[in-house]
Amino acid sequence: MVTKLVGILTAGGDSPGLNAAIRAVGKAGIGAFDMQIIGFRDGFRGLMQNRTIRLGSQELAGILTLGGTILGTSRDKPHKMPVGGQLLDMTDVMLDTYHDHHLDALVCLGGGGTQKNAYRLSQKGMNIITLPKTIDNDVAMTDVTFGFDTALGIATEAIDRLHSTAHSHHRIIVVEVMGHNAGWLALGSGVAGGAEVILIPEIPFDIEIVADAIRRRSRKGSRFSIVAISEGAMSQEVAAQLQAAEESRQNAVTDEEIEAAAVQLAEIEKRRAGSTLRAANKLEELTGLESRVTILGHLQRGGTPSAADRLLATRLGSECASLIDQGVFGVMVASRGESAVPIPLEDVVGKRKCVPLDHPWIQSARRVGTCLGDE
Catalytic residue set: 136
Answer yes or no: is pLDDT of 125 > 70.
yes
Question: pLDDT-derived band of residue 164, with 50, 70 and 90 as boundaries?
Answer: confident
In the chain, list all ranges with CATH 3.40.50.450.
5-146+305-347
Give the pLDDT of residue 329: 98
In the chain, list all ranges with CATH 3.40.50.460.
152-301
- pTM score, two decimals? 0.93
Looking at every residue in the chain, the average pLDDT score rounds to: 93
Q: What is the C-alpha to C-alpha distance for residues 146 and 316, in angstroms, rounded to an integer?
A: 9
User: Could you give the 3-state DSSP secondary structure of residue 24?
Assistant: helix
Give the pLDDT of residue 262: 81
Of the candidate CATH numbers 3.90.226.10, 3.40.50.450, 3.40.50.2300, 3.10.20.600, the domain formed by 5-146+305-347 belongs to: 3.40.50.450
The predicted-structure confidence for 329-375, as pLDDT tens digits, reads as follows: 999 999 999 999 999 999 999 999 999 999 999 999 999 999 999 98
| Residues paired with 39 in a beta bridge | 8, 53
Give the pLDDT of residue 265: 82
Answer yes or no: is pLDDT of 169 > 80.
no
Answer yes or no: is pLDDT of 272 > 80.
no
CATH code of the domain made up of 152-301 = 3.40.50.460
Question: pLDDT-derived band of residue 259, with 50, 70 and 90 as boundaries?
Answer: confident
* Cβ-based neighbours of 265, under 8 Å, separated by 6 or more: 242, 245, 246, 249
Question: pLDDT-derived band of residue 116, with 50, 70 and 90 as boundaries?
Answer: very high
Count Cβ neighbours within 10 Å for each residue of 241-261 and write b for 16 or more, e otherwise.
Answer: bbeebeebeeeeeeeeeeeeb
State what percent of residues in the chain have pLDDT above 70. Answer: 100
Give the pLDDT of residue 1: 63
Answer yes or no: is pLDDT of 253 > 80.
no
Give the pLDDT of residue 271: 76
Return the higher-pLDDT residue of 203 and 261. Answer: 203
Q: What is the C-alpha to C-alpha distance for residues 182 and 200, in angstroms, rounded to an integer?
A: 7
